[in-house]
Structures are given as structure tokens and as C-alpha cells.
């Protein structure tokens, strides 16, 4: 598992007071070492401060700056941390705004700023030259010779490939980091001095997030703080760490003390994204530049306390407003997809089996919305409840109440007589409650639904969800089959929130009350006889395990391409207050075995809309042999 802790720092500075600035940079380095950071990024021109203006033309300042870099190199000896600090460089009768990359007493390379702003409040070209076309150059300083210099450098220890750009470079049409990422860099660092203006904060953050997403990389951003000159501008010390479009850490701006933020980066996750995204390097406008790779080695890659946030429910946004918006979007996708299928077939009726459980409830709610979109009477929705051996009064009554309140064509067909006849036909004892006992009921229900759909000229809507498909928790050619499946890419943990969203925002109170009770009912196929008090005996999660664990496993297995050992590690972190390691491993093993052995069911799935980043459709996201072995994935 390739995790690494990286940091972004904003030291207290005094304009043009090099010694003062250097001491505060050292303080930040010490704090970063305590935090187990392996990479630390400082602001642009942090050795001198950014707002020195014409003082940059003073030899005294330039000499002091070079001496400070020498001092910092000596200070870094024996310290296992890659430091990126900003300072000017006088080279070839020109002055460059540069990032000095230092590790263990040595400058590994110097990166010049590619684009020099000279508009609005910026007039850097008065002092600095652009470094865009500087490649394959080397510079000599008083204390170190032949230092790689240019915009063509990536720093690599084999796994972690680090590249740098400076402030304005991010704001141009094609940032240097785009090319550097295409060439292999997976950690981009930006030394910046972005001043504060009204609304600039959001735009700057959006740039960092979007560039990390577009480049499938981690992006570390550090900007100058409030102690810069305020002659005309104010700087806020904005610090950001992003990973593939996600904000991992951000500071509170306008701090007056030395400040560091740090976060753990998941390089395996980034590399998996690049592995899957075959368009990433196929850019016809990209002329591959031969880059220099400067190699280095970290002595110790320990990252301290694992404080990276790991969501228990990765399919479900933790923010309430975002979750509500997500549910609204998914509900619209489902309904719009079904509307298209109905329009295409020319059918005006839909058939759905209603059990009083979550999945069939969500499917019915989608059908209701679809018929409203198409202005088709709700009486054309044929809802069929099919009580069997395990049907409880609670689920039965909820199914009736829901359909009656929604105004559907409700029909009841008791499957017990047909199942008893079938047991007799195949020679199965009714007191043997095995898989045959259960599957006979599931297939009887599907046969009824299919035949009524044929008889009525309707479309049979499937109700199974993504979690059940991942586990193969469905009867082949039973509830596994339909004519269109609206829930097929929605995990069980999200199904609950979708039903809750409809209860809160889409329906009248009497319908909402029924939906709430359905939400509070244990998940069960109700295929085994109820107990003497009429309660559910067969609870799905007692058999296959907690759905919240399986959804977690599914997300990291499919979306992140994580190994089982990494999934176990992350699950232990996410569920440390809920499940023991033994429990998590038990259900992870069960998940892997079922995922592999049940692929044959997914190979024969009906059509259905993809609503999120994960789908198990054999025509879309998952091409997997039905007879693949799970042995290589067992831990």
C-alpha cells in the first residue's frame, strides 16, 4: 500500500529579511518532520518574500538568498524530507523565479517559473524572465555545481514521481503540470503567491481541484501569507492538498503564525485511475517532451498516525445538502431512462412486484415519477403483491397501503398453492427449507410477473439493486430477471436514502408514513416461514453479512482496484468502532467468493441505467469471465 504523507507550509515572513524568513522555514520543516511528512512545499519566493519588487534587482538580496539556500541545504542533512522552497536565481544574465528542491543536504534540481504574469496588479516581468523554454540546463552555485535546471524535470524514487510548477503556471490554458502528469508525475506541487480578492478564493480552489482531477494526480498548493507587503495587495496564506478532484485538506486563511497542513496521499489509487483511463495519455496535441528524471530515495516511508478520512459509506455523501442533491439526480436518471424505454417500446403499462421491501418500493416510486413525466395514468401501473410462506403482516400491509395511496392497479396473487403443487411435481418435501424451497417461490413470482406483462402489454420492471448483484443474492431466472431494471446500479446503502428522499420531498404525508415504516423493516426476501408471532425469521444480513460492509468492499474493489489486503486495512479504519478485524475479514472473504462465483448471473442481466461510477453490467463496465477463480484474491 503506497501511502505517503505530504505537507503544505506557510511560514511567517518579513519582506526582504532573508535570515528571519529562513529561521521560520526551518521551524516549519521541524514541525513537518514531527508529523512524518516526506514532502513539504513552501510559497513562491519564500526565502526573500514575494513582494520585494525592485529589491530583486539588488545584488545584496540575491547573495543573501543564495547563502540562505546553502544554509538550508546544510540544515536538511540527515532529514528525510523533500523540501520545495521558493527563491530567485541569477543565471545567464537573467533573473528567474524558482523552486529549489532540496533533500538531505543537496539541491536535487531547480525549477523556473514557466509563465510570468504582467497584467492587472502583476508586473513580474520587470524583474523575472520566463523559464518555459529552459530544458536540459545545469547551473553552478557557490556551494554546489551541475544542478539540473529547467522545466523538464521529474523527481522520482520509483513510486512517487514529483513535479513542480509555480503560481501563474496553474492559471494558463495548459498548465505545465498537465504535461508533467502525462509524463508520469503523480504528485504536483505548486509554490504560489496568489493575492486575495473577493471571490478569488473559490476560483483558486476550483483550479487546484480540477487540475488534480484532470491530471489524475495529487496536487499540493502553498501560497504566501499575510506578512507580505500590503502596499497594494493582501495575501492570505492559502494552503490546499487535493487528490484526483477531492479536497483532502485546507487551512483557514489569514493566519499570523507559522502554519502547516498535511495529508496522506494514496498513490495506488491514483495509479489505478490512470490504468483504467485509457484516454489519459492519448492526446493528439501532446508532443511528448523528453524529460529528465532525477532519482532520489526516501529512507523511511512511515506516515505516522493514519488520519486520512475513510468513509464508511462511500456511495453516500456525508453532507446532507449534497446527499439530497445526489438523490434527486439519481431519481431523475432512473425515471428518465425508464421513460425512454417505454417510449421506444410504445408500451403504456408497467408491471412490478411489490413486497413491502426497500428495493421494490424504490422501483415503484421510479415508475410513478416516470408515468408523471409521460402523462400516463397511474392505473396503468400494475402492482402485484404475491404473499408466500414467509410474508409477514407488516410487509404485506405496507405493500397494500403504498399501492392504494399511489393509485396503482393493485392485484394480489397468493403463490402458496402454486408452490405446493410445484413441490409435489418435483418431489420436494415442504418441510425441507433449503435453496430449492426458496428458489421455487422466487421463480414462481417472476413467472407470474412475466406472464402478466405479456397479457397486459406491459414492461416488467426489475427491482434488484447493485449490492445484490455483486453478491449474487438473487435467484437465477427468478428475481434476477426482468424486462428493464431501474435499480441495477444503486447499492443498498444508497437505496435507503433514495426512499427517504422521496418520503421527505416527493410525496404526501400518508405515503411518507408508509415509506418510513418500510425503511425501518429488516431486509429480507421472506422466503422462509415466519415465526409463531408472525415476525420475519429470514434476515438477509444474517446470511450474507452487513450491506454497509459489502458496499464498502465493492466500492474499493471495483472503483479503486484495491487489493483485498488494502480493502481490509481501509475497512478496519472506517469501521473501527463498529466491527472487529475478524468480523470484517470474515465478510470480506465471503464477498470475494460470492463476487467471483456469482458472475454468471451478472453475465445475463437485463438492461438498466448506470447512475454512478460503478456498474456491473456485462455490456458496460464489467467484462469478467464467469469461471474466474477467486484464489488469488483470498487473504
List, by residue number, the catalytic residues.
44, 113, 167
- State how far the Cα of 84 lies from the Cα of 39, in Å rounded to an integer: 8
128 to 59, 133, 167: CA distances (angstroms): 14, 14, 14
Q: Has 194 been labeled as part of a binding site?
A: yes
| Cross-strand bridge partners of residue 218 | 187, 243
- Cβ-based neighbours of 47, under 8 Å, separated by 6 or more: 18, 21, 22, 25, 65, 68, 69, 72, 85, 86, 87
| Cell numbers found for residue 442 | 422466487
Q: Has 14 been labeled as part of a binding site?
A: no
- State how far the Cα of 312 lies from the Cα of 552, in Å rounded to an integer: 7
Q: Which residue has the cell 538531505?
A: 104
138 to 71, 145, 515, 599: CA distances (angstroms): 21, 8, 70, 57
Q: Which residue has the cell 504523507?
A: 5
Mapped onto helix, strand or coil, the DSSP state of residue 20 is helix
Residue 564: in which H helix or E strand, if any? helix 564-574
> Residue 566, by phi and psi: left (phi above 0), alpha (psi -120 to 50) or beta?
alpha
- Cβ-based neighbours of 4, under 8 Å, separated by 6 or more: 38, 39, 160, 187, 264, 265, 267, 301, 303
Q: Has 474 been labeled as part of a binding site?
A: yes
CA-nearest of 385, 329, 357 to 468 is 357
| Cell numbers found for residue 194 | 496568489
Q: Has 360 been labeled as part of a binding site?
A: yes
Q: Has 50 been labeled as part of a binding site?
A: no
Instruction: Classify residue 171 by its DSSP letter.
Output: G
Q: Has 583 been labeled as part of a binding site?
A: no
Residues 260 and 8 sit within 8 Å (Cβ to Cβ): yes
Q: Has 357 been labeled as part of a binding site?
A: yes
Q: Has 10 been labeled as part of a binding site?
A: no
Q: Has 427 been labeled as part of a binding site?
A: no
Q: Has 127 been labeled as part of a binding site?
A: no
Q: Has 355 been labeled as part of a binding site?
A: yes
| Cell numbers found for residue 304 | 505516522
- Cβ-based neighbours of 180, under 8 Å, separated by 6 or more: 154, 163, 165, 188, 291
Q: Has 119 been labeled as part of a binding site?
A: yes
Q: Which residue has the cell 413525466?
A: 373
Determine how many CB atoms are found less than 10 A away from the CB of residue 519: 15
| Cell numbers found for residue 286 | 501532446
Residues 203 and 152 sit within 8 Å (Cβ to Cβ): no
Q: Has 439 been labeled as part of a binding site?
A: yes
- State how far the Cα of 138 lies from the Cα of 232, in Å rounded to an integer: 36
Q: Has 354 been labeled as part of a binding site?
A: yes
Instruction: Classify residue 356 by its DSSP letter.
Output: S
Burial of 474 (0-12, 13-18, 19+ CB in 10 A): buried
Strand pairing of 94-103 and 106-112?
antiparallel
Q: Has 249 been labeled as part of a binding site?
A: no
- State how far the Cα of 176 lies from the Cα of 164, in Å rounded to an integer: 8
Annotated binding site: 119, 194, 200, 353-360, 439, 463, 468, 473-476, 601
Annotated binding site for L-glutamine: 119, 194, 200
Amino acid at each position: 500500500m503506497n501511502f505517503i504523507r505530504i505537507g503544505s507550509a506557510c511560514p511567517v515572513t518579513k519582506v526582504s529579511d532573508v535570515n528571519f524568513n529562513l529561521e521560520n522555514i526551518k521551524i516549519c520543516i521541524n514541525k513537518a518532520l514531527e508529523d512524518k511528512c516526506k514532502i513539504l512545499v513552501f510559497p513562491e519566493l519564500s526565502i526573500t518574500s514575494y513582494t520585494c519588487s525592485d529589491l530583486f534587482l539588488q545584488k545584496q538580496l540575491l547573495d543573501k538568498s543564495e547563502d540562505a539556500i546553502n544554509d538550508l541545504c546544510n540544515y536538511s542533512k540527515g532529514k528525510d524530507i523533500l523540501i520545495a522552497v521558493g527563491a530567485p536565481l541569477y543565471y545567464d544574465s537573467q533573473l528567474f523565479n524558482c523552486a529549489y528542491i532540496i533533500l538531505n543536504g543537496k539541491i536535487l534540481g531547480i525549477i523556473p517559473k514557466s509563465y510570468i504574469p504582467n497584467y492587472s496588479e502583476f508586473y513580474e516581468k520587470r524583474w523575472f524572465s520566463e523559464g518555459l523554454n529552459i530544458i536540459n540546463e545545469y547551473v553552478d552555485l557557490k556551494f554546489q555545481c551541475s544542478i539540473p535546471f529547467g522545466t523538464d524535470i521529474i523527481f522520482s524514487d520509483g513510486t512517487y514521481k514529483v513535479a513542480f510548477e509555480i503560481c501563474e503556471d496553474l492559471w494558463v490554458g495548459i498548465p505545465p503540470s498537465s504535461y508533467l502528469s502525462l509524463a508520469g508525475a503523480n504528485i504536483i506541487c505548486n509554490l504560489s503567491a496568489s493575492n486575495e480578492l473577493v471571490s478569488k478564493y473559490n476560483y483558486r480552489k476550483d483550479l487546484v481541484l480540477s487540475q488534480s482531477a484532470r491530471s489524475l494526480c495529487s496536487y499540493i498548493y502553498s501560497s504566501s501569507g499575510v506578512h507580505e507587503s500590503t502596499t497594494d495587495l493582501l495575501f492570505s496564506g492559502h494552503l490546499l492538498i487535493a487528490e484526483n478532484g477531492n479536497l483532502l485538506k485546507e487551512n483557514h486563511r489569514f493566519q499570523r503564525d507559522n502554519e502547516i497542513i498535511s495529508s496522506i496521499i494514496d498513490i495506488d489509487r491514483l495509479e489505478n485511475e490512470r490504468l483504467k483511463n485509457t484516454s489519459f495519455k492519448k492526446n493528439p496535441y501532446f508532443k511528448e517532451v523528453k524529460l529528465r528524471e532525477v532519482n532520489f530515495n526516501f529512507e523511511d516511508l512511515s506516515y505516522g498516525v493514519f488520519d486520512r478520512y475513510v468513509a464508511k459509506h462511500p456511495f453516500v455523501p456525508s453532507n446532507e445538502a449534497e446527499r439530497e442533491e445526489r438523490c434527486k439526480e439519481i431519481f431523475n436518471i432512473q425515471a428518465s431512462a425508464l421513460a425512454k424505454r417505454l417510449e421506444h417500446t410504445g408500451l403504456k403499462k408497467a408491471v412490478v412486484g411489490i413486497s413491502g421491501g426497500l428495493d421494490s418500493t424504490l422501483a415503484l416510486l421510479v415508475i410513478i415519477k416516470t408515468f408523471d413525466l409521460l402523462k400516463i395514468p397511474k392505473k396503468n401501473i400494475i402492482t402485484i403483491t404475491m404473499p408466500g410462506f414467509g410474508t409477514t403482516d407488516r410487509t404485506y400491509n405496507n405493500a397494500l397501503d403504498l399501492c392504494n395511496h399511489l393509485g396503482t392497479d393493485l392485484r394480489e396473487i397468493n403463490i402458496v398453492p402454486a408452490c405446493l403443487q410445484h413441490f409435489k411435481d418435483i418431489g420436494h418435501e415442504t418441510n425441507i427449507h433449503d435453496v430449492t424451497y426458496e428458489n421455487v417461490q422466487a421463480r414462481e413470482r417472476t413467472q407470474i410477473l412475466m406472464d402478466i406483462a405479456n397479457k397486459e402489454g406491459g414492461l416488467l420492471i426489475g427491482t434488484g439493486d447493485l449490492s445484490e448483484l455483486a453478491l449474487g443474492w438473487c435467484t437465477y431466472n427468478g428475481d434476477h430477471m426482468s424486462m428493464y431494471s431501474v435499480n441495477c446500479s444503486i447499492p443498498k446503502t444508497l437505496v435507503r436514502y433514495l426512499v427517504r428522499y422521496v418520503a421527505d420531498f416527493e410525496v404526501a404525508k400518508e405515503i411518507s408514513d408508509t415509506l418510513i415504516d418500510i425503511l425501518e423493516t429488516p431486509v429480507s426476501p421472506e422466503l422462509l416461514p415466519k415465526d409463531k408471532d408472525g415476525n420475519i425469521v429470514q434476515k438477509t444480513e444474517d446470511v450474507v453479512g452487513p450491506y454497509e460492509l459489502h458496499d464498502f468492499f465493492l466500492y474499493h474493489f471495483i472503483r479503486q482496484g484495491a487489493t483485498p489486503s488494502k480493502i481490509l486495512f481501509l475497512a478496519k479504519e472506517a469501521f473501527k468502532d463498529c466491527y472487529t478485524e475478524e468480523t470484517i475479514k470474515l465478510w470480506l472473504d465471503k464477498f470475494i467468493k460470492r463476487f467471483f462465483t456469482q458472475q454468471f448471473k451478472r453475465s445475463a442481466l437485463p438492461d438498466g441505467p448506470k447512475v454512478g461510477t460503478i456498474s456491473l453490467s456485462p455490456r458496460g463496465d464489467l467484462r469478467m469471465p464467469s469461471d474466474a477463480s477467486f484464489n488469488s484474491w483470498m487473504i
